[in-house]
Structure 1
Amino acid sequence: MQQIPLAERIRPNNLQEYLSQSHLVGDQGTLRQHILNGTTPSLILWGPPGTGKTTLANIIAQESKRPFYTLSAINSGVKDIREVIDKAKSAGGLFTAKNPILFIDEIHRFSKSQQDSLLGAVEKGWVTLIGATTENPSFEVIPALLSRCQVYVLEAFAKADLENLLKRAIRIDKTLSEKDIKITETDALIRISGGDARKLLNVFELVVNSIEGSEVEITNKLVLSQVQANPARYDKTGEQHYDIISAFIKSIRGSDPNAAVYWLARMIEGGEDLKFIARRMLILASEDIGNANPTALIMANNTFQAVSTIGYPESRIILSQCAIYLATSLKSNASYLAIGNAQRIVKETGDLSVPLGLRNAPTKLMKELGYGDEYKYAHDYSGNFAFYDFLPTELSQTKIYEPGNNPREQSQKDFLQKRWKDHYNYNNNG
């Protein structure tokens, strides 16, 4: 008989046992009172793997004493959804605080039609929907469904949370209590876990079970030796997800199409969500290429749309084409740096006044106060340009955007210098 994993054996059953996410379920947490009062609304739990999304959903159901139904988006279709909704409706409690909870794990994997099939049940109160996702719900959940749900963000476990989780496992698990376990070092365990509580417990159990006898001393050396000897056993759920996407993005940024396509193949063979890959390339096209080659953003966006429409296996070809194009494109992070500079300035200077000449003047009073008076309409001037200080007075001549060192952005630099001359002084860097 297969042993139940440690993470499942010690899964918390109430808020008192639930570790981490204090911003949600701590004494002042935004979700805590809803749970205790049994008035939890439909919601989306968004966070990295192993942050307690499924556990929290179970606790919500137990604390509110509601019927609990669960579906996995990986192997459930519209028919399964309708069957569960029918059961939920017959379970009683329509339009009351006791309406059943429908938990959908990995809701981002549901198609539009599958998500559409949930709308009526959520809107009419037949079920309280709890969806769990590792992906940004703004991209993966249809607007109509998202508007009917509150989104709560779960954070990766902090070091203290992970160490407390290990102590709790040793204290309450019957199997572990049969051994005398001493944790001397935790650095390797925590580093490998990456803030994923489930992964931490998987590795911990693997290491403990590797030692014969009743006395076990957990050290960094022991942990690393067991992980290296049994990579599939601790990473069997594809938890290299973040490492491999990082290698993929860095290979494209580093202009190596060979490595980029290799890491792309690793993700495809590992069953990675193809839209996740396409979305990351869309971000990179702006962050790392930008105006050095604006076509890259168009290419990446078309790739995302194509992948969303076509699916596997044909999408692998489109992803490969895009990855190679991005890897072999000129690079610039000037736009990324510019918005970072601008946000830093806004945080430092606050809400500075908009110059009068730039203000809208829809009323007579505003016109009398001088709103828009000094503004110069660029198209009325030679070259469609008229000098005007568009920044707040306190930030006059603050250069936020510095063009990158590539032909296209150097052309932008020449354009800006001809117009702004010493005001921004684009002849000098910085």
Structure 2
Amino acid sequence: MAKTRNPLAETGDLLSVDRDSMRPLAERMRPRRLDEMVGQRRLLAEGSALRKAVEAGHVHSMILWGPPGCGKTTLALLLAQYADAEFKAISAVLSGLPEVRQVLAEAAQRFSGGRKTVLFVDEVHRFNKAQQDAFLPHIERGTIIFVGATTENPSFELNSALLSRCRVHVLEPVSADDIVQALQRALQDQERGLGGQGIRVSDEALHEIASAADGDVRRALTLLEIAAELASTDDGEITAQSLLQVLADRTRRFDKGGEQFYDQISALHKSVRSSNPDAALYWLTRMLDGGCDRAYLARRLTRMAIEDIGLADPRAQQMALEAWNIYDRLGSPEGELAFAQLVLYLASTAKSNAGYAAFNQAKRDVREHGTQEVPMHLRNAPTKLMKQLGYGTGYQYDHDAEGGIALDQTAFPDAMGERVYYQPVERGMEIKLKEKLDRLRAAREQARSGNHKGKR
């Protein structure tokens, strides 16, 4: 009996093909097996614990932490595939608690029927505590295999209850060489990629695209797709000129409020502290390039001048304020040169945290000793009653003393005794301060010792 044609089915097949062709190249080329993933060698290497678990279909709830385009969504899809589980995805940006509850209810129903669900939650760090807590009982019962994806440090953004039920896996930016492999596969793949289009491109151009993607495979494939569209009007070759157009507005990864941001400001501060002007200039430029708030940079640079240079070179603090003022007057990009010159100076000049350390010690004594009374000889006596009560009695006016300093006069509360907080270093201007204070402190100690002997 001849097989009956089904025009609707054929039309559906054609529509499916058309829809596939309309999907972005990055989506079409999403890996279907672990072997197709590029990068993440540490996490997914042959014999690694995670790879063994995935290949065996024994998938656990997890948090995938890594930058954009490193393979978090792809890995979640593969987890469901290898575990023969239903894959459901929600976005913390677009979904609220009602949508979460609905997905969880469907997963519970599926679980009662004997099928597991991998629930992928993109941008999970954007969910608040109540929304994160909604997953907990379902993870415990095994109703869902929870896979949360985040670009932020889970320690800061996810509550401890959710973290305790999931294992955190760190994904790294994909190297340029690995991205080139993904681009070459896309150029050769005739089913999902560009293999049937006869696109010609040099190895140098592929490396340039990979470098511009800045660790993001999805972005690299998007750039290749745009370049291929231009090449179709240029005899099928991705030329240097067309590539220049595609990569004209390349940008680097920079998160103005996330961990990467604080890692970079930490690198800048520590490069200044270690007197490495070249590294300090590099990190400053990275932050400027990423669009960091210039007022924030000005504040942090001023802080460095106070905390790490201090009195070894008091000029640094004034230069920091001047650079801040110059930027406010000139704006970008001209004013950024003032920041660059400031960073070079801060990194190159003498360093001392003696003032910073002394201030912290003084604060600690204030906390520990509470409200100490001001010694009577240091109190002001503007009224007759206060003089009668002994305010100011015994005070020595330093300008009348020999050498301009009353050496045997204490300035600390009686219950505390003398303290030494400030210990100048032998660098920069603090060398002279140290010499003077060492002499002065020795003379004060000698004067106090003499007074004690005289009272015996």
Give the match for residue 197 of structure 2. Answer: 179
The superposition leaves residues 284-322 of structure 1 with CA deviations (integer Å, 9 ceiling, x where unpaired) of 68995673699xxxxxxxxxxxxxxxxxxxxxxxxxxxx
Q: Secondary structure at the match of 1:181?
A: coil
Shift of 1:226: 2.6
Query: CA separation of 1:59/1:403 partners in 2, compared to 1, >3 Å: closer, same or farther?
Result: farther
CA distance in 1, matches of 2:238, 2:66: 29
| Uncovered stretches (5+) of structure 1, i.e. residues with no partner | 267-276, 295-326, 339-380, 387-400, 422-430
Asked if 1:222 is matched to 2:242, the reply is: yes
Asked if 1:36 is matched to 2:48, the reply is: no
Query: CA separation of 1:192/1:144 partners in 2, compared to 1, >3 Å: closer, same or farther?
Result: same
Among residues 134, 137, 150, which one is paired with 1:117 in the alignment?
A: 134
CA distance in 2, matches of 1:200, 1:179: 18
The superposition leaves residues 175-215 of structure 1 with CA deviations (integer Å, 9 ceiling, x where unpaired) of 51232223311342122100110110111110110123584
The superposition leaves residues 258-291 of structure 1 with CA deviations (integer Å, 9 ceiling, x where unpaired) of x98x94689xxxxxxxxxx99x999x68995673
Asked if 1:51 is matched to 2:70, the reply is: yes
Based on CA coordinates, which of the two structures has the bigger radius of gyration?
A: 2
Superposition pairs for residues 186-335 of structure 1, below 5 Å?
186-213=206-233, 215-228=235-248, 231=249, 241-242=253-254, 263=291, 288=304, 291=307
Give the match for residue 445 of structure 2. Answer: none
Shift of 1:62: 0.3
Give the match for residue 81 of structure 1. Answer: 100
Contact 2:120–2:147 (8 Å) recurs in 1: yes
In structure 1, give the amino acid aligned to 2:216: D
| TM-score, length-scaled by structure 1 | 0.57
Query: CA separation of 1:80/1:182 partners in 2, compared to 1, >3 Å: closer, same or farther?
Result: same
Shift of 1:143: 1.2
Contact 2:177–2:210 (8 Å) recurs in 1: no
Contact 2:80–2:87 (8 Å) recurs in 1: yes
CA distance in 2, matches of 1:176, 1:203: 13
Shift of 1:10: 0.8
Among residues 95, 118, 123, which one is paired with 1:101 in the alignment?
A: 118
Of all paired residues, the percent bearing the same amino acid is 32
Give the match for residue 142 of structure 1. Answer: 159
Query: CA separation of 1:32/1:405 partners in 2, compared to 1, >3 Å: closer, same or farther?
Result: farther
Give the match for residue 144 of structure 2. Answer: 127
Query: CA separation of 1:19/1:241 partners in 2, compared to 1, >3 Å: closer, same or farther?
Result: closer
Give the match for residue 274 of structure 1. Answer: none
Contact 2:61–2:139 (8 Å) recurs in 1: yes
In structure 1, give the amino acid aligned to 2:198: D
| TM-score, length-scaled by structure 2 | 0.54
Q: Secondary structure at the match of 2:35?
A: coil
Shift of 1:220: 4.8
Query: CA separation of 1:15/1:212 partners in 2, compared to 1, >3 Å: closer, same or farther?
Result: closer
In structure 2, give the amino acid aligned to 1:291: E
Contact 1:188–1:224 (8 Å) recurs in 2: no
Query: CA separation of 1:243/1:54 partners in 2, compared to 1, >3 Å: closer, same or farther?
Result: closer
Contact 1:288–1:333 (8 Å) recurs in 2: no
Contact 2:93–2:126 (8 Å) recurs in 1: yes
Query: CA separation of 1:226/1:100 partners in 2, compared to 1, >3 Å: closer, same or farther?
Result: closer
CA distance in 1, matches of 2:212, 2:190: 22
In structure 1, give the amino acid aligned to 2:65: W
In the alignment of these two chains, the number of paired residues is 297
In structure 1, give the amino acid aligned to 2:30: R
CA distance in 2, matches of 1:23, 1:405: 47
Give the match for residue 45 of structure 2. Answer: 26
Contact 2:65–2:154 (8 Å) recurs in 1: yes
Shift of 1:82: 1.0
CA distance in 2, matches of 1:281, 1:241: 22
CA distance in 2, matches of 1:281, 1:140: 27
Give the match for residue 366 of structure 1. Answer: none
In structure 2, give the amino acid aligned to 1:183: V
CA distance in 2, matches of 1:83, 1:281: 48
| Uncovered stretches (5+) of structure 2, i.e. residues with no partner | 1-18, 269-279, 311-338, 353-415, 442-456
Superposition pairs for residues 409-424 of structure 1, below 5 Å?
none
In structure 2, give the amino acid aligned to 1:216: G
Q: Secondary structure at the match of 1:182?
A: coil
CA distance in 1, matches of 2:190, 2:161: 43
Query: CA separation of 1:290/1:120 partners in 2, compared to 1, >3 Å: closer, same or farther?
Result: farther
Query: CA separation of 1:206/1:287 partners in 2, compared to 1, >3 Å: closer, same or farther?
Result: farther
Contact 2:201–2:238 (8 Å) recurs in 1: yes
Q: Secondary structure at the match of 1:183?
A: coil
Question: Could you say what the CA RMSD is over the residues aligned between the two structures, in angstroms?
Answer: 4.7
Shift of 1:418: 5.5
Q: Secondary structure at the match of 1:13?
A: coil
Q: Secondary structure at the match of 1:31?
A: helix
Shift of 1:31: 0.9
Asked if 1:10 is matched to 2:10, the reply is: no
Shift of 1:79: 1.1
Q: Secondary structure at the match of 2:108?
A: helix
Contact 1:24–1:31 (8 Å) recurs in 2: yes
Q: Secondary structure at the match of 1:68?
A: strand
